[in-house]
């Protein structure tokens, strides 16, 4: 199986290499030609040291089979999605392993409307990789180096989120990833005094003790500099975490609530409904209901969230990890846009964020990640004994919510337990760890 929960992902030279990348590019080209889609594709990458080798290999596969490539070099994943949706191109490719460390890399494929390819399309491309013997095209594609295309994305950011940030001190952590130039640039353009943290083109340090999964240093910098906000992205710029001036940490559930109320106040929250996942805190669901807002749940993964949003014509969805999609503005999760949209709402006094968050009463929850073998992760859902043990534990503890699932990107089992009693939560996690070990 080549495609996982979010495109192709794995350890470089073990799970993903230049040969596989070439074959993905080749298969994507054959797929585009078969669907009679435009023979131009937008390609970008994050800062990983393996990014050049992987991106040039996939580009070779594309141009060998007649596809022209707009190569943008280092950009965030949402930039690829946005540009594909605005340009008359056949699709997009992003070389990234998102929040994973530099040893990993991956390939995300986008449709001609800027959405991540659905499972049906991925299966079709996977079948081409395995079975197709189509020869390369006689008419080769061209590689066009056009970084000016990024200005289309920037202009949209400024037009939608324009506000005066001249009185604000903002700490920005780009996880040594895709937003290392763009995020400080746009905040400075709007007048903010920017304190940069881990905003370097250092592919060996991408996501290393920084970014949306490691916000300790941003919080420290906010308090030391008496900053108004701390903004933290992950390596490819689709996850967002926010620190307020008192050190309060906002995860994806907090942000989803704030955005829901912001859009509701603007009469832009379609059907008064938002999309979350099985990991979304039950306290958030109950708080939304008090505000006449319904929460729909889906499986983990921003692709699943956006798919359910699209099916129901909804405007907002997200995950606790910090993936938030404002569908009116981009059909993927855009952390930079979301951060600006949020701060604009605060500056323009559309919301009082601290007062608003007082009404959000989340349940206690603990997340535990357990490293396992690849085989254990692969066979997790077929492990009947383990599945029955977890089900029995849930049945005997009806006042808690238990989610145990294999990671789609790493050899890890993720345990999430939520309830009112921290003591009970920790005991349940101990039981599950004993089951796994």
Active site residues: 98
The three-point CA angle 295-300-302 to 5° equals 85
CB under 8 Å to 57, separation ≥6 — which residues? 18, 19, 21, 22, 25
Please state, in angstroms and as integers, the Cα–Cα distance from residue 128 to each residue in 31, 221, 338, 361, 416, following that order: 8, 49, 37, 49, 37
SS3 helix, strand, coil % of the chain, rounded to 5? Answer: 40, 25, 35
Could you give the residue ranges of the DSSP H alpha helices within 35-149? 51-64, 77-86, 119-131
Beta-carbon neighbour count of residue 347 at 10 Å?
Answer: 15
188 and 170 in contact (C-beta within 8 Å)?
Answer: no
256 and 280 in contact (C-beta within 8 Å)?
Answer: yes
Q: Which residues pair with 109 in a beta bridge?
A: 93
What single-letter DSSP state applies at residue 402? E
Beta strands in 132-260 (DSSP E): 143-145, 169-173, 193-197, 229-233, 240-244, 249-250
Question: What six digits make up the tokens of 383?
Answer: 């492990």
What is the C-alpha to C-alpha distance for residues 322 and 417, in angstroms, rounded to an integer?
19
304 and 277 in contact (C-beta within 8 Å)?
Answer: yes
Q: How far out from the chain centre does Cα 274 lie?
A: 17
Question: What six digits make up the tokens of 274?
Answer: 């938002």
175 and 212 in contact (C-beta within 8 Å)?
Answer: yes
96 and 235 in contact (C-beta within 8 Å)?
Answer: yes
What is the C-alpha to C-alpha distance for residues 172 and 388, in angstroms, rounded to an integer?
45
Beta-carbon neighbour count of residue 63 at 10 Å?
Answer: 21
Beta-carbon neighbour count of residue 199 at 10 Å?
Answer: 22
């Amino acid at each position: 199986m080549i495609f996982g929960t979010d495109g192709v992902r794995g350890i470089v030279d073990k799970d993903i290499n230049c040969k596989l990348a070439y074959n993905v590019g080749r298969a994507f080209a054959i797929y585009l030609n078969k669907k009679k889609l435009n023979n131009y594709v937008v390609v970008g990458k994050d800062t990983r040291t393996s990014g050049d080798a992987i991106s040039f290999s996939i580009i070779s596969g594309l141009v060998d089979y007649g596809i022209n490539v707009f190569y943008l070099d280092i950009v965030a994943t949402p930039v690829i999605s946005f540009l594909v949706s605005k340009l008359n191109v056949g699709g997009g490719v992003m070389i990234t392993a998102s929040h994973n460390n530099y040893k990993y890399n991956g390939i995300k494929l986008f449709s001609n409307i800027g959405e991540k390819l659905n499972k049906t399309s991925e299966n079709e491309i996977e079948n081409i990789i395995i079975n197709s013997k189509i020869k390369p095209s006689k008419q080769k594609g061209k590689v066009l180096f056009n970084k000016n295309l990024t200005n289309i994305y920037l202009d949209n950011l400024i037009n939608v989120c324009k506000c005066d940030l001249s009185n604000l001190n903002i700490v920005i952590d780009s996880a040594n990833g895709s937003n290392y130039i763009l995020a400080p640039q746009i905040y400075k353009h709007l007048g903010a005094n920017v304190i940069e943290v881990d905003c370097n083109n250092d592919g060996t340090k991408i996501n290393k003790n920084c970014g949306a999964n490691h916000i300790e240093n941003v919080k420290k910098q906010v308090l030391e500099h008496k900053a108004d906000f701390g903004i933290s992205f992950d390596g490819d710029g689709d996850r967002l975490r926010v620190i307020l001036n008192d050190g309060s940490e906002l995860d994806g559930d907090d942000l989803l609530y704030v955005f829901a109320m912001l859009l509701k106040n603007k009469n832009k929250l379609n059907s008064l409904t938002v999309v979350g996942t099985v990991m979304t805190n039950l306290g958030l669901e109950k708080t939304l209901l008090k505000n006449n807002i319904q929460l729909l749940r889906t499986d983990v993964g921003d692709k699943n969230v956006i798919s359910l949003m699209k099916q129901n014509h909804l405007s907002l969805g997200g995950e606790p990890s910090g993936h938030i999609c404002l569908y009116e503005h981009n059909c993927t999760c855009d952390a930079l846009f979301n951060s600006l949209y949020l701060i604009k709402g605060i500056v323009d006094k559309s919301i009082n964020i601290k007062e608003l968050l007082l009404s959000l009463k989340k349940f206690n929850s603990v997340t535990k990640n357990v490293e396992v073998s690849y085989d254990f992760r692969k066979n997790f859902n077929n492990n009947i004994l383990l599945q029955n043990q977890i089900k029995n534990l849930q049945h005997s503890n009806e006042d808690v919510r238990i989610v145990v699932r294999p990671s789609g990107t790493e050899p890890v089992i993720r345990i999430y337990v939520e309830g009112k009693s921290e003591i009970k939560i920790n005991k349940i996690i101990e039981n599950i760890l004993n089951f796994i070990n």
